[in-house]
Amino acid sequence: MNAMVTKNFKKKNKKNKGFTLVELIIVIAIIAVLGVILAPQYIKYVDKSRWATDQNNAKTLLKEVQTAVVAVQEETADGKVLSGATAGKITLTKTADPAVVGIESAVTNKIAEADANWNKTRVTNKGKADGAKAEYVITIGTDNQVTGEWSD
């Protein structure tokens, strides 16, 4: 009796081995639909993440520049921060290292003391999927006021 039950069980197992073609096609279709629905959401998530990273990098560098300007003013006799009569700028872009214009090297040296990699800081694309050019510009005015703003 026991041998007969085992024999019948083995026959049933051999019959139901694997998935049918219809079952596989249905599973693939469900996965494809989920991919189509979730892909745009994932792209938005990644863009928001990049934008948040850009904002944090820009804010951090802005604070480092503000600190460096105050430190240079306190440490040097003349307190000179700008190398010319006009405002100085540090521009962060996607494609190049920060561009420093019209700022004394004492300021950039102070920034480097705080953050050795500051001169490699870049922004991605302001969270824009179309890749539009975006820059973050830190300006040191003639009154040594430090401001930062996004521009396209």
pTM over 0.75: no
pLDDT in tens, 22-76: 999 999 999 999 999 999 999 889 888 888 888 888 888 889 888 888 888 888 7
Q: Does residue 122 lie within any of the structural domains?
A: yes
Write down the pLDDT at residue 95: 76
Q: Does residue 71 lie within any of the structural domains?
A: yes
What does the H/E/C string look like for the chain? CHHHHHHHHHHHHHHCCCCCHHHHHHHHHHHHHHHHHHHHHHHHHHHHHHHHHHHHHHHHHHHHHHHHHHHHHHHCCCCCCECCCCCEEEEECCCCCCEEECECHHHHHHHHHHCCCHHHCCCCCCCCCCCCCCEEEEEECCCCCEEEEEEC
Q: Does residue 110 lie within any of the structural domains?
A: yes
Q: Does residue 5 lie within any of the structural domains?
A: no
Range of the domain at 32: 18-151
Q: Does residue 144 lie within any of the structural domains?
A: yes
Q: Does residue 37 lie within any of the structural domains?
A: yes
Write down the pLDDT at residue 128: 55
pLDDT in tens, 96-135: 788 888 888 888 888 888 888 777 777 776 555 555 557 8
Q: Does residue 40 lie within any of the structural domains?
A: yes
Write down the pLDDT at residue 27: 96
Q: Does residue 89 lie within any of the structural domains?
A: yes
Q: 3 pLDDT band (50/70/90 cuts)?
A: low
Strands, sheet with 99-101, edge to edge from the N-terminal-most edge strand: 99-101, 88-92, 135-140, 146-151
